[in-house]
Amino acid sequence: MPEGLEAEIYARAAHQVIGRRITSVVVDPLCGDGDLLGRLVSADVRAVSRHGKHVLVDTTRGRLDLHFGMTGRLIVDGSAAIQQLEYGARRDDPVWDRLVVSFDRGEMRVSDPRRFSRHRLDPELDLGVDLLAPVDQIADALQGVSRRRGPVKGVLLDQRVIAGLGNLCVDEVLFHTGVAPSTPMCEVADLNRLAEVIATTMPAMLVAGGSHTGDTGPGHRDGDGRCALDGTPLVRSMVAGRATVSCPTHQR
């Protein structure tokens, strides 16, 4: 967290700043280059978009890239796009502001307790197809990595394959595809099915509120969570270096 779905929520909130003029930019030195970002002062915001986990603010003096790390939240004009991240702090503290962009009216800031957020000017992003792209584009991306021998979970977490998928979303996708997370990518039999699940599950989770809303989300990852499809106790393991939840009965 935040994953691509949370970044989409942030991007929609950031649309409010389109048409405004930037009057100052203050960034934590660990999270961005103040001299570079300072070039945006006096720029007008022309557009806001998103790709993967990145929110992109286009201005007359360059593109501002917002990447939120594990605990970054976007707050526009004092209103948080997401009140609380599932694994984030339960309060807001000005000392956690890692980026503050002031405008001729209002401001936009990134609150990030853990200082993992990164904010850059005119980045070159090496990203794959977006997680909310049409199913045919997702299928093409999966076909391009179909010979990889690593676990399918690790491949789906690779932002150069499908940008925006994070740990929670990948577990949810594999849960509904019926594929064990440790399955070698080259042994996944039905890539079209996998693409279809991504293309349908991601928009549904976005509408529900984000990456924490699925059948393998935070409420099912601790304790004695059970599979919503067959009642089997969910199994917790480490796959591709990430904490993983899956059903041993229907995910094979």
The reply to whether 196 belongs to the active site is: no
* 203 belongs to the catalytic site: no
Residues of the chain with pLDDT under 70: 1, 84-91, 223
**What is the architecture, at CATH level 2, of domain 129-246?**
Orthogonal Bundle (1.10)
pLDDT score recorded for residue 145: 98
Using omega within 30 degrees of 0 as the cis cutoff, is the peptide bond preceding 2 cis?
yes
Q: What is the pLDDT of residues 42-96, one digit of tens each?
A: 999 999 999 999 999 999 999 999 999 989 999 999 999 887 665 555 667 889 9
8 A C-beta contact, residue 216 and residue 245 = yes
Which pLDDT score, from 0 to 100, does residue 110 have? 97
CA distance 29 to 193: 44
pLDDT given at position 219: 76
Ranges of CATH 3.20.190.10 domains, the chain: 4-121
* 128 close to 164: Cβ distance less than 8 angstroms: no
Q: What is the pTM of this model?
A: 0.94
Of the listed 3, 8, 107, 172, which one is catalytic?
Answer: 3
Structure-token pair, residue 37: 């970002």
The answer to whether domain 4-121 has CATH 3.40.50.2000 is: no
What pLDDT, on the 0 to 100 scale, is given for residue 87? 53
Q: Any catalytic annotation for residue 46?
A: no
CATH 1.10.8.50 residue ranges of the chain are 129-246
What per-residue confidence (pLDDT) applies to 132? 98
Catalytic residue at 53? yes
Mean pLDDT of the chain: 94
Catalytic residue among 39, 63, 226, 242: 242
* Catalytic residue from among 20, 50, 53, 118: 53
Provide the edge-to-edge strand list for the sheet that holds 62-67. Answer: 45-51, 54-59, 62-67, 118-121
